[in-house]
Structure 1
Amino acid sequence: MTIAEVLHQAKAELTVRKLDLNIAEIIIETRLGLTRSELWMSLDREMNVSEKKQFDNDFARYIGGEPVQYILEVAPFYGRDFYVTPSVLIPRPETEELVYAAEKYIEQNPTRIQHLLDICTGSGIIPITLKAIFPSCDITGSDISKEALQIAEQNNARLETDVRFIHSDLVEYFQKTGEKFDVILANPPYIAESERVEMSKYVLENEPELALFAPNDGLAIYERLIKNLPDIVDNCFWIGMEIGYAQGQAVKKLLEKSFPQANVIVKQDINGKDRMVICSNELI
Structure 2
Amino acid sequence: MTIAEVLQQAKAVLIERELDQNIAEIILETRLFLTRSQLWTTIGRELTPTEKAQFDADFARYLAGEPVQYILGVAPFYGRDFKVTPSVLIPRPETEELVYAAEQWIKQHPGEVQRVLDVCTGSGIIPITLQAEFPELALTGSDISTEALEVAVDNNIRQKTNVRFIHTDLVKTFLENGEKFDMILANPPYIAEKERSEMSDYVLKNEPELALFAPNDGLAIYERLIADLPQLVDKQFWIGVEIGYTQGEAVKLLFEKSFPQANVKIQQDINGKDRMVICHNTLI
Instruction: Give the alignment's TM-score, normalised by structure 2.
Output: 0.99
User: Which letter does structure 1 place at the counterpart of 2:228?
Assistant: N
In the TM superposition, residue 217 of structure 1 has moved relative to its aligned partner by 0.7
In the TM superposition, residue 28 of structure 1 has moved relative to its aligned partner by 0.2
User: How far apart, in 2, do the equivalents of 1:203 and 1:283 lie?
Assistant: 40
1:125 aligns with 2:136: no
In the TM superposition, residue 42 of structure 1 has moved relative to its aligned partner by 1.2
In the TM superposition, residue 280 of structure 1 has moved relative to its aligned partner by 0.4
Q: 1:76 aligns to what?
A: 76
User: How far apart, in 1, do the equivalents of 2:170 and 2:7 lie?
Assistant: 45
Superposed, 1:136-215 pairs within 5 Å as 136-215=136-215
In the TM superposition, residue 283 of structure 1 has moved relative to its aligned partner by 2.5
User: Which letter does structure 2 place at the counterpart of 1:262?
Assistant: A
User: How far apart, in 1, do the equivalents of 2:200 and 2:55 lie?
Assistant: 24
User: How far apart, in 2, do the equivalents of 1:234 and 1:161 lie?
Assistant: 26
Q: 2:226 aligns to what?
A: 226
In the TM superposition, residue 232 of structure 1 has moved relative to its aligned partner by 0.5
List structure 1 runs of 4+ shifted beyond 4 angstroms: none
In the TM superposition, residue 16 of structure 1 has moved relative to its aligned partner by 1.0
In the TM superposition, residue 196 of structure 1 has moved relative to its aligned partner by 1.1
User: Which letter does structure 2 place at the counterpart of 1:11?
Assistant: K
Residues 222-243 of structure 1 show CA distances to partners (whole Å, capped at 9, x for unaligned) of 0010011111112100000000
Residues 135-187 of structure 1 show CA distances to partners (whole Å, capped at 9, x for unaligned) of 01011000000110000000000000000000110110000000000000000
Q: 1:26 aligns to what?
A: 26
User: How far apart, in 2, do the equivalents of 1:198 and 1:15 lie?
Assistant: 25
User: How far apart, in 2, do the equivalents of 1:8 and 1:234 lie?
Assistant: 58
Superposed, 1:98-113 pairs within 5 Å as 98-113=98-113
Structure 1 unaligned regions, length at least 5? none
Q: 2:269 aligns to what?
A: 269
User: How far apart, in 1, do the equivalents of 2:111 and 2:264 lie?
Assistant: 23
Aligned-partner SS, 2:88:
coil
Residues 166-225 of structure 1 show CA distances to partners (whole Å, capped at 9, x for unaligned) of 011011000000000000000000001111122121110000000000011100100010
Q: 1:55 aligns to what?
A: 55
User: How far apart, in 2, do the equivalents of 1:92 and 1:85 lie?
Assistant: 15
> What CA RMSD, in Å, does the superposition of the two structures yield over aligned residues?
0.6
User: How far apart, in 2, do the equivalents of 1:34 and 1:53 lie?
Assistant: 18
User: Which letter does structure 1 place at the counterpart of 2:236?
Assistant: C
Aligned length: 284
Aligned-partner SS, 1:122:
coil
1:45 aligns with 2:9: no
Greater shift in the superposed pair: 70-79 or 35-44: 35-44
User: How far apart, in 2, do the equivalents of 1:112 and 1:162 lie?
Assistant: 20
User: How far apart, in 2, do the equivalents of 1:67 and 1:281 lie?
Assistant: 41
